[in-house]
Structure 1
Amino acid sequence: MPDAHHRAALAERAARAGGVVARQAFRGDLAVETKANKNDLVTEADRDAQGQVVATVREEFPNDAFVLEEDVVTLSGPETGETDPSVLDEVPATGPVWVVDPIDGTANFVRGNRTWATSVTAVEDGEPVGSATYLPSEGDLFAAGPESATRDGATLSVSERSDPETFAVAPVGWWDRDDRTEFADLCGAVVGRFGDMRRIGSFQATLAYVADGALDGAVCTNPNHPWDTLAGVHMVRQAGGTVTDADGERWRHDSDSLVASNGEAHAELVAAATDALA
């Protein structure tokens, strides 16, 4: 893709622009709404940050499509509720699309917890070519382009640990109340196989930490949204790590599970997922 570097740089700029908007509302007075359940939260800051990301991208690629976490309407038709035709429900198999999560970790955001991120991924023909995860309250911008991955300009590299008993591994994703047994089983599998467990509260931040070596792996045994995963998966791979599904097959945006690691004991991460699903 001839403009992959351009798109990767724009993903960084758009993530930073959206994150600045969200940061202005952080720890302020927030009107919090729920979506699918009591813990699936959204605020006006999510929508405002998303709008800024979209506006930043459209300055340079006005005809590109988007896959967005939050609902949108056309600028000209909020009264009619007409949906924006450039906003797609899923990542297309061909052509360019931008995948946006304006605040990944909204539950952290509304609690005043600093670990939340604005995430933007440029995708071409179903594969990411550039991604950025900006953590405004922590001051870090993780990014990956066609050949490299960085944190604030410094090269990212996954951890070099090879002994699973020294690994810190994060179970990620969300389970409905009726599926909490599977979540408990996953936590048990992680604790049983690895040295320690983390629960970050932001899927994209978790994957960025795997890419940066702060975590050695992450496991999700249920389907996940592309806005929660694509940016971080690209970073982990560009930083030298491995990302598959729970069967050990190469992860794609439509996979039904996700296993990310530094690549040194990936089979153990897959086995933890298998234990949880058994």
Structure 2
Amino acid sequence: MSSTTLDERENALHGIIRDAGLVALDCYRKRRAGEFSLKGRQDFLTEADGLVEARVFAQLRARFPEDSLLGEETGGGSGGSRLWVVDPIDGTANFARGIDHFCVAIAYVEDGQTELAATYNPVTGELYTARRGRGAAKNGVPLRVAATSTLETASIELGWSHHTPEGEYISLFTAVFSGGASVRRGASGALALAWVAEGRTDGYVEYFMNAWDCLGGLLMVREAGGCTGTFPVTSADLVMGGPVLAAAPGVAGHLAEVTGLPLMTRENST
């Protein structure tokens, strides 16, 4: 792709995600307690998810009709060389319960490489962005991962979903906690990865994430100088999902060891 065309997509992405955030924020402010349903165990569904995704898809189709779309709510295809991956509201449980920790997350993938990313929390006004080879930023200010060098001084966030058996999550928690780390859970994987890129936390691990939850955040971490696991290995992983690890370099090796998840290297990134 020419730089000009990628520039156009980057500019469009930043405008589209801010607009989507306004839709999400409006829904958030108008919601009433208990007005949500469950897709599965602790897997929340709100009307806002569908509204936000429809808004994003409509704008992307109007601007880039030749691109493929993949979203959490309406699915789509991962075929074609140009793909937008959309999570309309990540942190749906927080959204549904009135907790200001949720976001809209969008990534742009070309020929299997994540080229652009944006994660927006409309409540706080924090817009995290990244472009492959050009760094990551929050509201235009460059990001850098933390300089933490040991698990004993690290803050690590762990994610859980119904795809992961309870025993595996408990074992993961035990392994990280026993390594000396402070363990937290914020219930938004996309924001968790952005926080690693920002240096607010030192690492994030989840044994199963969908592509729309993590593609953009993984790019942000790498562009901010951090390390990530190997997901996604193939284009099929964009639909199937997989395990995610992201961390500051000083603790990445330790975290990979205690979790059993390999880190991306030059050899396995191609």
Q: Are the aligned partners of 1:69 and 1:227 in contact in 2 as well (CA < 8 Å)?
A: yes
How far residue 265 of structure 1 moved from its aligned partner, in angstroms, is: 2.1
What SS class does the counterpart of residue 63 from structure 1 fall into?
coil
Moved more, 42-51 or 63-72: 63-72
1:219-276: CA deviation from partner (whole Å, max 9, x where unpaired): 1223x2100110100100111111014xxx886672731110111221111122129x
Quick check: 1:12–1:131 contact (8 Å CA) kept in 2?
no
Q: SS of the residue aligned with 2:63?
A: coil
Equivalent position of 1:14 in the other structure: 16
Rounded to whole Å, the distance in 2 between the matches of 1:220 and 1:141 is 23
2:102 matches 1:116 = yes
| Alignment counterpart, residue 165 of structure 1, candidates 124, 130, 152 | 152
Q: Which of residues 38, 47, 52 in structure 2 aligns to 1:49?
A: 52
Distance in 1 between residues matched to 2:86 and 2:207, nearest whole Å: 22
One of 34, 40, 43 as aligned partner of 2:38: 34
- Pick closer, same or farther for the CA change 1:218–1:194 going to 2, 3 Å: farther
Q: Considering fraction of residues, name the structure with more strand.
A: 2
Alignment check: 8 A CA contact 2:42 2:162 kept: no
Deviation string 1:116-169 (CA, Å, 9 cap, x unpaired) is 000111110111110100001121000001312110010011111112211100
Partner amino acid, structure 2, of 1:227? W
Distance (whole Å) between structure 2 residues aligned to residue 98 and residue 201 of structure 1: 23
Deviation at 1:52, TM superposition (A): 1.3
CA distance in 2, matches of 1:170, 1:272: 14
Q: Name the SS for the 1:133 alignment partner.
A: strand
Q: What are the ranges of 5 or more consecutive residues in structure 1 without an aligned counterpart?
A: 73-86
Verify the 8 A CA contact 1:18 1:53 in the aligned structure 2.
Answer: yes
Runs of 4+ aligned structure 1 residues displaced above 4 Å come to 249-253
Q: CA 1:194/1:53 → structure 2, altered by over 3 Å: closer, same or farther? A: farther
TM-score under structure 1 length normalisation: 0.85
RMSD (Å) for aligned C-alpha atoms: 2.0
**1:4 aligned partner:** 6
Letter in 2 for 1:144: A
| Letter matched to residue 150 of structure 1 | A
Letter in 2 for 1:59: A
- Supply the distance in 2 between the matched residues of 1:52 and 1:165 (Cα, whole angstroms): 44
| Alignment partner of 1:185 is 2:171 | yes
In structure 1, what is the Cα distance between the partners aligned to 2:234 and 2:258?
Answer: 20
Q: 1:250 to 1:160 in 2, by over 3 A?
A: farther
Q: Quote the residue 1:149 is aligned against.
A: 136
Cα deviation, residue 56, structure 1: 2.2
Aligned to 2:111: 125
TM-score, structure 2 length as denominator? 0.87
Unpaired runs of 5+ residues, structure 2, are: 262-270
- 1:228 equivalent to 2:230? Answer no
Structure 2 CA distance for aligned equivalents of residues 272 and 175 of structure 1? 22
Q: Distance in 2 between matches of 1:173 and 1:148?
A: 28
Letter in 1 for 2:187: G
Deviates more, 1:96-105 or 1:45-54: 45-54
Size of the alignment, in residue pairs? 252
Contact (CA 8 Å) 1:175, 1:183: kept in 2 or not? no
CA distance in 2, matches of 1:150, 1:143: 5
Distance apart, 1:27 and its partner CA: 4.0
Amino acid at match of 2:11: A
Distance 1:251 1:119 in 2: 21
Residues 173 and 10 from structure 1, CA distance in 2 versus in 1: closer, same or farther, beyond 3 angstroms? Answer: farther
Give 1:190 shift: 1.4
